[in-house]
Amino acid sequence: MVSPALDGEVTVTMGELFLRFGADEAFLEGPGANPGEREIDPEPDAIREFARSDGRGRYRPLSGARTLPRNWHARFATLDALTAAVDAIYPLAFEHIAAYDEGRLRVVPLEDVLARQSGRYASASEISERGRAIASASLCAGCVRAPVWRGAGVTEGAIPCPEPCSVLVSLCREVAFWERDRPERREADPSCVYAAFEQPGNEIREHCLALLENSDG
Amino acid sequence: MTRALLLIGHGSHLDANSSRPVFENARRLRATGAFDEVRPAFWKEEPSLARALDGCAASEVTIVPLFMSTGYFTEQVIPREMGLDGAVTVRGGQTVRYTPPVGAHPALARVIVARALEAGATAGDAIAVLGHGTPRNPNSERTIYEQTERVRATGRFAEVTTVFMDQEPAMGGVFERVAAGTVVMVPLFIAEGWHVGQTIPEELDIHGPSAREDGRRLIYARPVGTHPCLSDVVLELASEAARW
A79–chain B nearest CA distance, Å: 17
Strand B94-98, strand B88-91: pairing = antiparallel
Nearest to A52 among B16, B48, B50 (CB): B16
Q: Is the pLDDT of residue A5 over 90?
A: no
pLDDT average, residue stretch B168-189: 97
B 50-89 near A (Cβ less than 8 A)? 50-52, 54-55, 72, 76-77, 80-81
Report pLDDT for A217: 67
pLDDT digits (tens, 9 = 90+) for A96-137: 999 999 999 999 999 999 999 999 999 999 999 999 999 999
**CB atoms A118 and B12 under 8 Å:** no
pLDDT digits (tens, 9 = 90+) for A10-66: 789 999 999 998 888 999 999 999 999 999 999 999 999 999 999 999 999 999 999
**CB atoms B23 and A45 under 8 Å:** yes
Report pLDDT for A8: 55
Q: What is the pTM of this model?
A: 0.94
Q: Does B46 touch chain A (CB under 8 A)?
A: yes
- Within 13 Å, how many C-alpha atoms sit on residue B115's CB side? 30
Q: In what order do the strands lie in the sheet with B3-9?
A: B37-42, B3-9, B60-65, B94-98, B88-91
Report pLDDT for B149: 98
Identify all chain B residues contacting A118, using CB atoms and an 8 Å cutoff: 76-77, 80
Q: Which of B201, B196, B194 has the alpha carbon at shortest distance from B225? A: B196
Q: Does B95 touch chain A (CB under 8 A)?
A: no
**CB atoms A167 and B13 under 8 Å:** yes
> How far, in Å, CA of A27 to CA of A25, rounded?
7
**CB atoms B50 and A108 under 8 Å:** yes
pLDDT average, residue stretch A173-198: 97
B 146-185 near A (Cβ less than 8 A)? none
pLDDT average, residue stretch A181-210: 97
Report pLDDT for A3: 43
Find the residue in B nearest to A96 (Cα).
B54
Q: Does B92 touch chain A (CB under 8 A)?
A: no
> How far, in Å, CA of A90 to CA of A31, rounded?
14
Spell out which chain A residues touch chain B, with contact meaning CB-CB distance below 8 angstroms.
45, 48, 52-53, 59, 61-63, 87, 91-92, 95-96, 99, 106, 108, 113, 116, 118-119, 162-163, 165-167, 170, 193-196
pLDDT digits (tens, 9 = 90+) for A71-82: 999 999 999 999
Q: Worst-scoring range by mean pLDDT, A164-178, B153-167, B203-217? A: B203-217
Phi/psi of residue B39, nearest 5 degrees: -130, 150
**CB atoms A59 and B14 under 8 Å:** yes
Q: Does B48 touch chain A (CB under 8 A)?
A: yes
- Answer positive or negative: Cα dihedral of B102, B107, B109, B115: negative
Phi/psi of residue A105, nearest 5 degrees: -75, 125
> How far, in Å, CA of A79 to CA of A27, rounded?
10
Report pLDDT for A216: 83
Chain B contact probe: residue of A165, A168, A202, A204 with most B CBs at under 10 A: A165
> Taking the CB of residue A152, how many other CB atoms lie within 10 A of it?
15
Q: Which of A87, A65, A66, A68 has the alpha carbon at shortest distance from A76? A: A87
Report pLDDT for B136: 77
Asked if B39 and B56 touch (Cβ cutoff 8 Å), the reply is yes
Identify all chain B residues contacting A196, using CB atoms and an 8 Å cutoff: 13-14
Q: Does B123 touch chain A (CB under 8 A)?
A: no
**CB atoms B47 and A165 under 8 Å:** no
Chain A contact probe: residue of B45, B49, B80, B136 with most A CBs at under 10 A: B45
pLDDT average, residue stretch B209-236: 95
Find the residue in B nearest to A122 (Cα).
B77
pLDDT digits (tens, 9 = 90+) for B31-90: 999 999 999 999 999 999 999 999 999 999 999 999 999 999 999 999 999 999 999 999
pLDDT digits (tens, 9 = 90+) for A139-173: 999 999 999 999 999 998 899 999 999 999 999 99
Find the residue in A nearest to B83 (Cα).
A116
> Taking the CB of residue A173, how many other CB atoms lie within 10 A of it?
23
pLDDT average, residue stretch B181-203: 94
pLDDT average, residue stretch B195-218: 91
Strand A26-29, strand A17-21: pairing = antiparallel
pLDDT: is A22 or A190 the higher one?
Answer: A190
Average model confidence (pLDDT) for chain B?
A: 95
Q: Which residues contact B126 (CB under 8 A, 6 or more apart)?
A: B157, B158, B159, B160, B161, B178, B179, B180, B182, B183, B184
Supply the DSSP string of chain A, one letter for each residue.
---SSS--SEEEEETTEEEEE-SS-EEEE-SSS-GGG-B---SHHHHHHHHTB-TTS-B--STTBS-PPSS-EEEESSHHHHHHHHHHHSTTHHHHHHHHHTT------HHHHHHT--GGGGGGGG--HHHHHHHHHHHHTTBSEEEGGGT----TT-EEE-S--HHHHHHHHHHHHHHHSPPPP----TTS-TT-TTSTT-HHHHHHHHHHHHH--
- Angle of the A129-140 helix axis to the A203-215 helix axis, nearest 10: 140
Report pLDDT for A7: 56
